[in-house]
């Protein structure tokens, strides 16, 4: 039976593909206060601003490609049972070829009805005011905004709890509830944390290895070591 690897990925996973990280040091996201463009209140106040913001992100996404770190994770699937839990809303894991991905914070290339959150549609073009579902409700980005529930959190927690190996890549471990997932790992499980500016040290958790490198620098080497260890 294959060992189970759960991989938690954040903004640093996609940064080297050219996708900007979530927010800069000043707390702004592409020049906007995060609450203006990533909250239900912001959408209610100025839906056109919010839609345009995600239209720009969607256009940018279609210009970038998976990087070497995304591609390296695909190799693990040959020998391990791999689940990727990502905070990223891009589709770069899918495009690289990974097959089992939980998008905690939603997906940029999907939209959903404001009248029925279970009505989710694939969407690659701009989303504008007046674009409605078949029941007449305005469509919105399929993104989990601040203050909203994280529907796939329980699924992600179970994947982390069942892991034989946990890998964390490119995340500050500061954004909750995603940051709490590490606490679901069993005490004996080896944890690898890859980030150029790691926010945890090896005395924080048992069996933790900190790799202070970017995703592109650190992931391919770790993948090779795990494959060779079998």
- 186-206 residue pLDDT tens: 999 999 999 999 888 888 788
Strands (DSSP E) contained in 59-180 are: 81-86, 101-103, 106-113, 120-122, 139-143, 165-169
Strands (DSSP E) contained in the chain are: 4-9, 28-29, 32-33, 81-86, 101-103, 106-113, 120-122, 139-143, 165-169, 191-194, 208-211
Mean pLDDT of the 145-159 span: 96
Q: pLDDT higher for 80 or 204?
A: 80
Q: Quick one: pLDDT band at residue 179, thresholds 50, 70, 90?
A: confident
Here the tokens at position 123 are 């969407």
Amino acid 135: pLDDT: 97
Q: Quick one: pLDDT band at residue 215, thresholds 50, 70, 90?
A: very high
From 105, 188, 204, 207, active-site residue: 105
In the block, tokens 């909750």 appear at 176
Is 90 exceeded by the pLDDT of residue 70? yes
Mean pLDDT of the 57-78 span: 96
Amino acid 10: pLDDT: 94
Amino acid 36: pLDDT: 93
Q: pLDDT higher for 33 or 217?
A: 217
CA dist., res. 134 & res. 164, Å (int): 44
Mean pLDDT of the 24-41 span: 77
Task: Please report how many Cα atoms fall inside a 13 Å half-sphere around the Cα of residue 23, on the Cβ side.
Answer: 16
Amino acid 155: pLDDT: 98
The percentage of the chain sitting over the pLDDT mark of 90, rounded to a whole number, equals 84
Amino acid 92: pLDDT: 98
Mean pLDDT of the 33-44 span: 94
Mean residue pLDDT across the chain: 93
Contact in structure between 107 and 130 (CB atoms under 8 Å): no
105 catalytic, yes or no? yes
């Amino acid at each position: 039976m294959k060992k189970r690897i759960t991989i938690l990925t954040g903004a640093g996973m996609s940064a080297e593909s050219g996708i900007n990280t979530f927010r800069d040091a000043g707390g702004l996201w592409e020049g906007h206060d995060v609450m203006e463009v990533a909250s239900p209140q912001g959408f209610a106040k100025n839906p056109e601003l919010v839609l345009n913001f995600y239209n720009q992100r969607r256009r940018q996404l279609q210009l970038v490609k998976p990087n070497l770190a995304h591609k390296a994770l695909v190799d693990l699937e040959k020998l391990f049972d791999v689940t990727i839990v990502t905070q990223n809303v891009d589709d770069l894991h899918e495009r690289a070829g990974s097959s089992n991905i939980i998008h905690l914070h939603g997906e940029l290339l999907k939209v959903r009805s404001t009248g029925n959150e279970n009505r989710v549609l694939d969407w690659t073009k701009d989303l504008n005011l007046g674009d409605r579902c078949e029941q007449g409700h305005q469509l919105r980005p399929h993104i989990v905004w601040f203050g909203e529930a994280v529907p796939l959190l329980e699924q992600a927690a179970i994947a982390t709890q069942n892991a034989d190996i946990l890998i964390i890549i490119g995340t500050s471990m500061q954004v909750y509830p995603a940051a709490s997932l590490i606490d679901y790992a069993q005490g004996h499980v080896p944890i690898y944390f890859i980030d150029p500016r790691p926010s945890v040290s090896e005395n924080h958790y048992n069996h933790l290895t900190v790799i202070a490198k970017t995703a592109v620098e650190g992931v391919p080497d770790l993948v090779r070591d795990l494959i060779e260890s079998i």
